[in-house]
Structure 1
Amino acid sequence: MKNSRRSLLSTLLRSTAVLATALTLGTAFAQSGKPIRVLVGFPPGGGSDAIARLLSEKLKNELGVSVVVENRPGAGGQIAAQALKAAAPDGTTLFLSHDHTISILPQVVKNPGFDPVHDFVPVGGFATFVNAFAVSGGTPARSFNDYVGWVRTSGSGKGAVGVPAPASTPEFLVKLVGQKYQLDLVAAPYRGSAPMMADMLGNQIAAGVGSVPDFIENHKAGKVRVVAVLGNKRQGAMPDVPTFDELGLKGFDDLPYYGIYAPAGTPQKFVTDFSAALSRVVAIPEVRDQLTGMGLTVGYMTPEQLATRQAAYTEAWSRIIKTSGFVAQ
């Protein structure tokens, strides 16, 4: 009997502690009476937008406050990043971004209007992913080698390849592919993956490079064909697609990442509490399955781990950018 009472008391104490933590967390975010804005640097309909809306819905339940996605498309996420820098550091504004805006853009734009190291605070990461090369349904290519042969025969070695943003990882990949296969490939920059995909679906452009989440649904539907992915490991969402490592294009082992950031000066309690909520959300089997289905490799990163990955990826691409001869514009 005593053991039963002891067990019951222990259970009640744990339940009370959990409830108290939840109430404290909810109160911390609800004090301002304002919803949390999650800025996204690309238009609705793209991979980043879909990911942000999935996470925001679940975070709302965790935090007990409204979490609203706000699209600020343009300049490869630069506009959204500048909006984050200008936002009050009061815990009501966050920025969901992948590697391009945080690690690449500050190296390829002379005056980006923000410094991610000094102007932002890492809140937490939740996934890595790879970029992919895809062809539109109007091309006869069924493989990457087919595409190379098609460009050589039908385009005299010339071709345009869509990329979601100028001076981005996809644009550098287009240059490297052109160099390796002796093709005159020109990167055609778009304002995000959604308009690029629209042109690919309309056969206005024969190929595009973007993240796996950008292509996954239309690839599964047979509307576009992903013919190669970066890295040295095939993707679980599309196991039949070879890697560029297999095809002989190496040097892309550092995986792009997704993370959430707050303005510099945001109270540490907010950063800690929101990061903890993010860790709980990405542990939900339904969320993990949906993100995996989008082509992501799901894994929570603490603020410190996100900062470390950001620094390593930035350094890796600094070497690639210098080797390419690209000059910041």
Structure 2
Amino acid sequence: MIHRRSLLAAPALLPAALLPGPARAQGDWPTRPITMMIPFVAGGPSDITGRVIAARMGGLIGGTVVVENRPGANGAVAAQAMARAAPDGHTLMTGSIGVYAINKALRPNLPYDPVRDFAPITLAVTTPNVLVINPAQVPATDYAGTLAWLRANAARASYSTSGVGSSEHMTMELFKLRTQTEATHIPYQGGAAAATALIAGDVQLTFQNLGTVAPHIAGGRLRAVMVTSATRNPTIPDVPTAAELGLEDFVVTSWQAVMAPVGVPAPILARMEAACIESLRHPEATQRLNQIGFEVVASSAGEFRRFQEAELTRWRAVVERAQIRAE
């Protein structure tokens, strides 16, 4: 894993890269609205992150950025569409660890390649996963009680995720292996839909990105019993880490990143990178993302590519060790 300190070592942003008109490196770009594709339904981590970026990016580049949600196949529908998009700088995608790393490890016949088909822009944010339960379905107040309930209710226990191969899916499957428990996987088209299903009682528990479930935890609709970060998260300071609960080497950080189709001219990529980083580092954007459990990284494109390749290697090993198969 690449340390966050190195990820923050982005190159200096040249103000001219963000200026409209003649000062642009690619003077005729953008010539029409830019589409920021989101490979999941509205309300999930990718959607939240993409909309935060889009809200400021348009003003920085002198154009318009339109968000388009295109869910399906754990992000593969949107990713395949972006891989086929014209490399003219008018299509971007804010996607997850699943789209940009886990899918490749899990599905040998994936209809896109997250390295070969995409040009990196920035690693936007990271967030831990949280084991949350529906308190009306699982009569437990802590991790020990949740584990006891799982062991006593293996036949009916089920968990929701944002899709097959998502970080939540992988985290739960590893959890099942480590704790020798069972639960049926029910995939949905995005984290928001998975959280809604849990709140409705359609499933009993889930590992979800903190950013997705933080409001529901605060509102009492869901109960958090474990967080997968190395240290406790300030958003939920009373929730213990996996290590504190005896699960060593169980740190899982989900992430969201921005990429473009491969082949976009370098001057346009540079402006995209600068605008995305500036959007993420704006105090209001950072505050909003921090409040819901995201840590802003806003890395350089090069740092993100190295990070992505390390994640591909990591999750390929996890899939092989846990013998996880796409459903």
TM-score normalised over the length of structure 1: 0.88
Q: Distance in 1 between matches of 2:252 and 2:221?
A: 29
- Please state how far the C-alpha of 1:200 moved relative to its aligned partner: 1.3
2:193 is aligned to 195
Decide whether aligned partners of structure 1 residues 156 and 51 sit closer, same or farther in structure 2, where only a CA change above 3 A counts. Answer: closer
Q: Distance in 1 between matches of 2:120 and 2:167?
A: 21
Gap regions ≥5 residues in structure 1 = 1-16
- Please state how far the C-alpha of 1:165 moved relative to its aligned partner: 0.7
Q: Distance in 2 between matches of 1:21 and 1:216?
A: 34
Contact 2:18 2:61 in 1 (8 A): no
Gap regions ≥5 residues in structure 2 = 1-13
Larger RCO (alpha carbons 8 Å, 6+ apart): 2
Contact 1:41 1:97 in 2 (8 A): yes
Decide whether aligned partners of structure 1 residues 102 and 21 sit closer, same or farther in structure 2, where only a CA change above 3 A counts. Answer: closer
Q: Tell me the secondary structure at the aligned position of residue 178 of structure 1.
A: helix
Q: Tell me the secondary structure at the aligned position of residue 123 of structure 1.
A: strand
Q: Distance in 2 between matches of 1:51 and 1:193?
A: 13
For residues 1-329 of structure 1, what are the structure 2 equivalents within 5 Å? Answer: 22-23=19-20, 24=22, 28=26, 31-138=29-136, 139-153=138-152, 155=153, 159-253=157-251, 255-327=253-325
Letter in 1 for 2:143: F
- Please state how far the C-alpha of 1:328 moved relative to its aligned partner: 5.6
CA offset digits 1:168-225 (Å, max 9, x no partner) = 3322222222233332222221121122122112112111122111111111111111
- Please state how far the C-alpha of 1:20 moved relative to its aligned partner: 8.9
- Please state how far the C-alpha of 1:149 moved relative to its aligned partner: 1.8
Q: Tell me the secondary structure at the aligned position of residue 67 of structure 2.
A: strand
Q: Distance in 2 between matches of 1:201 and 1:29?
A: 49
Decide whether aligned partners of structure 1 residues 304 and 202 sit closer, same or farther in structure 2, where only a CA change above 3 A counts. Answer: same
TM-score normalised over the length of structure 2: 0.89
Letter in 2 for 1:325: Q
Letter in 1 for 2:244: E
How many residues in Structure 1 have an aligned counterpart in Structure 2? 312
Q: Distance in 1 between matches of 2:130 and 2:18?
A: 42
In our comparison, the structure showing a higher alpha carbon Rg is 1
Letter in 1 for 2:118: F
- Please state how far the C-alpha of 1:158 moved relative to its aligned partner: 5.1
Q: Distance in 1 between matches of 2:17 and 2:160?
A: 51
Letter in 2 for 1:22: L
Decide whether aligned partners of structure 1 residues 21 and 249 sit closer, same or farther in structure 2, where only a CA change above 3 A counts. Answer: closer
CA offset digits 1:116-151 (Å, max 9, x no partner) = 111100011222111111111313222122211223
Q: Distance in 1 between matches of 2:238 and 2:290?
A: 16
